[in-house]
Amino acid sequence: MTMRRLAAPWAPRGSTAYCLPGSMLVKLSLGEAPASVPARNDVRDGAIAAATALDGGAIDRILRERGGSVRIARLHTAAANIGHKGARNRHYTDAEQISGVARTFLVQADHTTQLGDLADALSSISTVEWASPNYVAAGPFGQAALLAVDAVDDEEMWAPWAMIRGPQALAYEPGDSAVIVGIIDSGVAPEHREFAGRFRRGYDTVNLSTRDVAPGIEMLGTTDDPDHEPVDHYVGHGSACAAIIGALGIDMPPGMAGDAQLLPMRALGAARLPGRSAAIGMGAIADLDAAAKLAIDLGARVLNLSFGTDDAQLAPHMPKPHADVIAYGADRGCVFVAASGNNGHETTYWPAAYPQVIAVGAVGTDARPTGFSTRGQHVALCAPGDRIFTAALDGYQRATGTSFAAPFVSATAALMIARAERRAFPIDAATIKHLLAATARPFSTASPGCGAGVLDAAAAVAAVDRFIDHEHPATEDG
């Protein structure tokens, strides 16, 4: 069963994407956001109660008439006040205001609220830039697989790394511990032997419990007393991605990001869907955006995003998810890498389809695009994504899907940043995306919609030097 098949009578007409009952995101126009509304993290921590009003006027009247008793909080914490409990809604920067992350509010109305009607009514007010249901994304999305295994032979284990010339890339550039890779996912298994000393503190933004979702969905774990630790006990998706980026290399190849540090952000809660035994990662757009924005504020230069929402499932007039946090991160020079999807068709998934994002498809062991890899003109390149040997919650697993191709590209981007930093050159995200595509190894057969070819990590890292030397011939290694 997919998320779109779950009954959601509260969803907007024309939408097949699942959204949380009574949950809505509202973005106010520039200059209209009231300073008094608390940040969601302060509400979660019990530092302050959620607001019950937003503007004292038309917005509040509509919320009362159509949403009943509401609770309101700013979705994002101000970057300047991350550590100031009870004051995380103060001192937003101009960048936070202009991108809109400072003007976005999470509204919880009665569960029976017709969210489409409420969103339409709110959007008709001049001080509201947009209003949208709080949609839900899943990871892995589409058809992907995690299969527990004890071990595989060395040739099979190393094949994906060899395909992209990973060992050569790491020999050329070992990475930099000052470069942080944010992993927006289901959390990680911090006690796994492959991760000893690899993680920064991270955070947990999941705010879902069984009472918040449709009947039949079982949320595993609890958010009643959030501890903020990004630990995954049930899914293993985040650990699989994290190991490809930063494993120590004890019983699997070492992570492709070398000495980069990993910042785990748990934004996908563990859920069991009707008729399914295995847990999946399930994350509200609000939780995913909050995690991404916080990772950016905590210094992540690269963000790995292995989740997505199908544009065709959204109501046509609703805003696209993640746009503001992508704009905010792009303004701060972050490199976004996203899995293209796993449905095998030409499909627009968000966030992969944004031009600021590097969308990654998957190839199999023959270096040809897999049948499940989602196509599209926005796909930049492909990387190995079939039966990748990587860490599980306890032990190891084979992971299949574009979710596990994206981390190879995220890790290579981290090496490229490290190489540029070694040359004292501030490389930007657009240049990294261009060099990754320009150095990709062409497919052996025509593969429309799969990007420029297969990731060549060694060529991409070496291309950074050529780019710097071309732009600034006098620059020497630092």
Q: Please count the structural domains in the chain.
A: 2
Q: Rounded to an integer, what distance in angstroms lies between the CA atom of residue 328 and that of residue 196?
A: 32
According to the model, what pLDDT value does residue 7 have?
A: 62
| pLDDT tens digits for range 150-188 | 767 889 999 999 999 999 999 999 999 999 999 999 999
282 Cβ contact partners less than 8 Å away, ≥ 6 residues apart: 3, 136, 137, 138, 208, 213, 217, 219, 268, 269, 270, 271
Residue that terminates a domain, selected from 78, 111, 134 = 134
Q: Give the pLDDT band (50/70/90) at residue 475.
A: very low
pLDDT of amino acid 71:
97
Residue type, 122: L
Give the residue carrying structure tokens 């126009």: 29
51 vs 73: CA distance, rounded Å: 6
Neighbour tally for 28: CB within 10 Å: 23
CA Rg value for the chain = 22
- Residue 125 shares a structural domain with residue 147: no
Q: Which residues neighbour 207 within 8 Å (Cβ) at sequence distance 6 or greater?
A: 40, 44, 223, 226, 284, 286, 287
Asked if residue 346 belongs to a domain, the reply is: yes
CATH (domain of 179): 3.40.50.200
Say if residue 127 is in the same domain as residue 148: no
Mean pLDDT of 320-346: 97
Q: What is the pLDDT of residue 2?
A: 40
Q: How confident is the model at residue 222 (pLDDT cuts 50, 70, 90)?
A: low
Taking the C-alpha atoms of residue 176 and residue 25, their distance in angstroms, rounded to an integer, is 38
Q: What is the mean pLDDT of the chain?
A: 93
Residue 9, C-beta contacts closer than 8 angstroms, at least 6 positions apart: none
Domain with 28 in it: 3-134
Residues 68 and 9 in one domain: yes
Same domain, 120 and 150: no
Q: How many other C-beta atoms lie within 10 A of the C-beta of residue 337? A: 32
Name the DSSP class of 295. H
Question: Is the separation of the CB atoms in 352 and 326 below 8 Å?
Answer: no
Asked whether residue 477 is domain-assigned, the answer is no
Residues 279 and 240 in one domain: yes
In the prediction, which pLDDT does 412 show? 98
DSSP secondary structure letter of residue 3: G
**Cα–Cα distance for residue pair 386/384, rounded to 1 Å:** 6
Q: Listing from the earlier edge strand, what are the strands of the sheet with 388-391?
A: 145-149, 396-400, 388-391
The answer to whether residue 459 sits within a structural domain is yes
Domain assignment present for 476: no
243 and 348 belong to one structural domain: yes
Identify the band that residue 224 occupies on the pLDDT scale cut at 50, 70 and 90: low
